[in-house]
Amino acid sequence: MRSVPHFINGARVEESGHSPVFNPATGEVIAKVPVPSKSRIDDVVALARTASLSWGRSSLSRRTNILFTLRQLLVEHTDELAALITTEHGKTRTDAKGEIARALENVEYACGLIEHLKGGFSDQVADGVDVHSTREPVGVVAAVTPFNFPIMVPLWMSANALASGNAVILKPSERDPSVSVRLGELLKESGLPDGVFNVLQGDATTVQALLEHPGIDAVSFVGSTPVARHVHEVASAHHKRVQALGGAKNHMVVLPDADLDVAADAAINSGFGSAGERCMAISVVVAVGDVAGPLIDKIATRLDKLRVGPGDDPASDFGPLITQEHLTRVVSYVTSAPDDDITVVRDGTSMASPKGFFMGPSLLDGVRPGTKAYDDEIFGPVLGVARVATFNDAIALVNNNPYGNGVAVFTRDGNAARLFSRQVHVGMIGINVPIPVPIAAYSFGGWKNSLFGHTHIYGPEGFAFYTRAKVITTRWPEASESQIDLGFPTTR
């Protein structure tokens, strides 16, 4: 059985595997992931620390050149990377390429590092005194990532962390770990010095060791809410800066004046793309007023045309779920829905089979707070419809939900859309856009249980997170100006 290597100090490092990596389209175990020992973790942190010192002093132009080369290599290797993602994750090839395209955006943004790392200068703040600021790397960043975007989320973190002059230790998801090793190799080929970017495979114990390790300065985490909360607490207790992005329950509010065909298409694309395994997937359509009936009809008709199959079959609209365990959990939300007086409009559970973790699309009418299908993040191809009477009821539903990652409103009324975006307690909002993942020049982050920590990820907040500010106050006095004065210095 193939063991997925670590990528340490610029080379693959083999170790015998532990947890299984499946091909979700066949259900077969195709590799095993090692769990590193404490001494291996210590060694990697030590070498990353050493590498961070010279990398942190490297010229900005050198870093920019490396990132430009990485961008080119990612473009050239898109097919290969997408195939690797499809094999271990299960998403369609087109979807995998879309993920790579969004990852590229982050590398492109990082290529502008000379601008992003620019400090400020204030001339003559007092007589003969100038002030300037710089931003320095924090040191060694632990990047801990989820299964659902195995190259994009690592690059949300690594592109800006490396551009800022840090060393990175990536702990990818144990479900689809191979593409991170290729990322390490492409970074090396781009000219990144050995030891600056390392991939340490493993599981929760590996993450725990990194969170507690004195050699780690900052932790970027993306994953489920319970783990994000834990990561935030442990890393904070160990005096690290930490940003921990969690799960989601994204609502799509459809107002009575919306174009229902546009809304139905959007609900399908955002609810069922990648089998619903996206943190920005729409999982609840909030039908306002009398739109529920016609909207449900339009969504159901479209669902009947979706094709579910292996991600490497170009005919598939979406592929399997990540594991049998997850499939069983997702199926349970559909089978138990009638117990909560929820109507199962479309039931995709009959597709579930042991040969691949497939499930067809399901549509539930009448989800509401207090029902499992509404309260939990399902993370599968199950779309719920919640019926509310008014615009204000829709806002209240969104705001009372403990998650606050993304939300969308569908309307033709600009003022309603404006009021909506001002009133919802959610980090990322789409107006007639169902998956409002911000472009790389804006930062990504939810509110409430969708993010623990103060900075959003990537974009300007990414550069802020991966650097520490220094402010230098300078004076070049003439000897004749020097005097004894024990008063607190002022600029007056």
- What distance in Å separates the CA atoms of residue 451 and residue 445, rounded to the nearest whole number? 7
Q: Kindly identify the residues of this chain, within the stretch 409-468, that bind ligand NAD according to CB under 6 A.
A: 446, 450
Contact status: 405 vs ligand NAD (CB under 6 A)? yes
Of 147 and 197, nearer to ligand NAD (C-beta) is 147
Region from 48-56, 67-75, 140-148, 287-295 binding ligand NAD, contact rule CB under 6 A: 140-148
Q: Binding-site residue total for ligand NAD (CB under 6 A)? A: 29
Whose tokens are 């479309």? That residue is 346
> Least Å distance between CB 209 and ligand NAD?
10
- What distance in Å separates the CA atoms of residue 90 and residue 485, rounded to the nearest whole number? 71
Contact status: 274 vs ligand NAD (CB under 6 A)? no
Contact status: 9 vs ligand NAD (CB under 6 A)? no
Region from 84-92, 108-116, 189-197, 201-209 binding ligand NAD, contact rule CB under 6 A: 201-209
> Least Å distance between CB 281 and ligand NAD?
8
Beta bridge partners of 23: 28
> Least Å distance between CB 412 and ligand NAD?
30
Of 194 and 376, nearer to ligand NAD (C-beta) is 376
Q: Are strands 241-245 and 218-222 parallel, antiparallel or unpaired?
A: parallel
Q: Which of 93, 102, 182, 230 binds ligand NAD (CB under 6 A)?
A: 230
Taking alpha carbons only, the member of 167, 36, 18, 155 closest to residue 85 is: 155
Q: Which of 222, 260, 264, 286 binds ligand NAD (CB under 6 A)?
A: 222
Region from 54-62, 74-82, 131-139, 222-230 binding ligand NAD, contact rule CB under 6 A: 222-230
From its phi and psi, is residue 235 left (phi > 0), alpha (psi between -120 and 50) or beta?
A: alpha
The closest residue (CB) to ligand NAD is 223
Question: 28 with 22: CB under 8 angstroms?
Answer: yes
Whose tokens are 């395209």? That residue is 101
> Least Å distance between CB 148 and ligand NAD?
5
Taking alpha carbons only, the member of 214, 139, 140, 137 closest to residue 171 is: 140
Contact status: 173 vs ligand NAD (CB under 6 A)? yes
DSSP state of 120: -
Query: How far is CA 201 from each of CA 17, 141, 210, 224, 292, rounded to the nearest angstrom?
Result: 10, 15, 12, 19, 46
Question: 177 with 19: CB under 8 angstroms?
Answer: no
Residues near 6 by Cβ (< 8 Å), separated by ≥ 6? 12, 13, 15, 34, 36, 40, 44, 181, 198, 199, 200, 201
Whose tokens are 């991170």? That residue is 180
82, 138, 279, 299: the active-site residue: 279
Region from 167-175, 311-319, 335-343, 408-416 binding ligand NAD, contact rule CB under 6 A: 167-175
Of 149 and 318, nearer to ligand NAD (C-beta) is 149
Region from 171-179, 190-198, 332-340, 423-431 binding ligand NAD, contact rule CB under 6 A: 171-179
Q: Kindly identify the residues of this chain, within the stretch 359-398, that bind ligand NAD according to CB under 6 A.
A: 377, 379
Contact status: 407 vs ligand NAD (CB under 6 A)? no
The 81-120 contact track toward ligand NAD, x by CB under 6 A, reads: ----------------------------------------
The 16-55 contact track toward ligand NAD, x by CB under 6 A, reads: ----------------------------------------
Tokens representing 132 are: 């300037």
The 231-270 contact track toward ligand NAD, x by CB under 6 A, reads: --------------xxxx----------------------
Contact status: 276 vs ligand NAD (CB under 6 A)? no
Q: Which of 19, 94, 134, 208 binds ligand NAD (CB under 6 A)?
A: 208
Whose tokens are 């931003």? That residue is 135
Question: 170 with 199: CB under 8 angstroms?
Answer: yes
Q: Is the dihedral of CA 478, 480, 484, 485 positive or negative?
A: negative
Q: Which of 7, 55, 109, 147 binds ligand NAD (CB under 6 A)?
A: 147
- What distance in Å separates the CA atoms of residue 100 and residue 155, rounded to the nearest whole number? 9
DSSP state of 479: G
Of 94 and 224, nearer to ligand NAD (C-beta) is 224
Contact status: 174 vs ligand NAD (CB under 6 A)? yes
Beta bridge partners of 429: 407
Beta bridge partners of 16: none
Taking alpha carbons only, the member of 58, 70, 136 closest to residue 103 is: 70
Tokens representing 49 are: 């620390």
Largest CA distance in the chain: 89
Contact status: 146 vs ligand NAD (CB under 6 A)? yes
Of 34 and 366, nearer to ligand NAD (C-beta) is 34
Contact status: 11 vs ligand NAD (CB under 6 A)? no
Query: Dihedral angle at the C-alpha atoms of 416, 420, 423, 426, nearest 10 degrees?
Result: -170
111 is catalytic: no
Which run of H or E residues covers position 285? strand 282-288
Note the residues at the interface with ligand NAD (CB under 6 A). 144-149, 153, 171, 173-174, 203-204, 207-208, 222-224, 227, 230, 245-248, 279, 377, 379, 405, 446, 450
| Residues with active-site annotation | 279
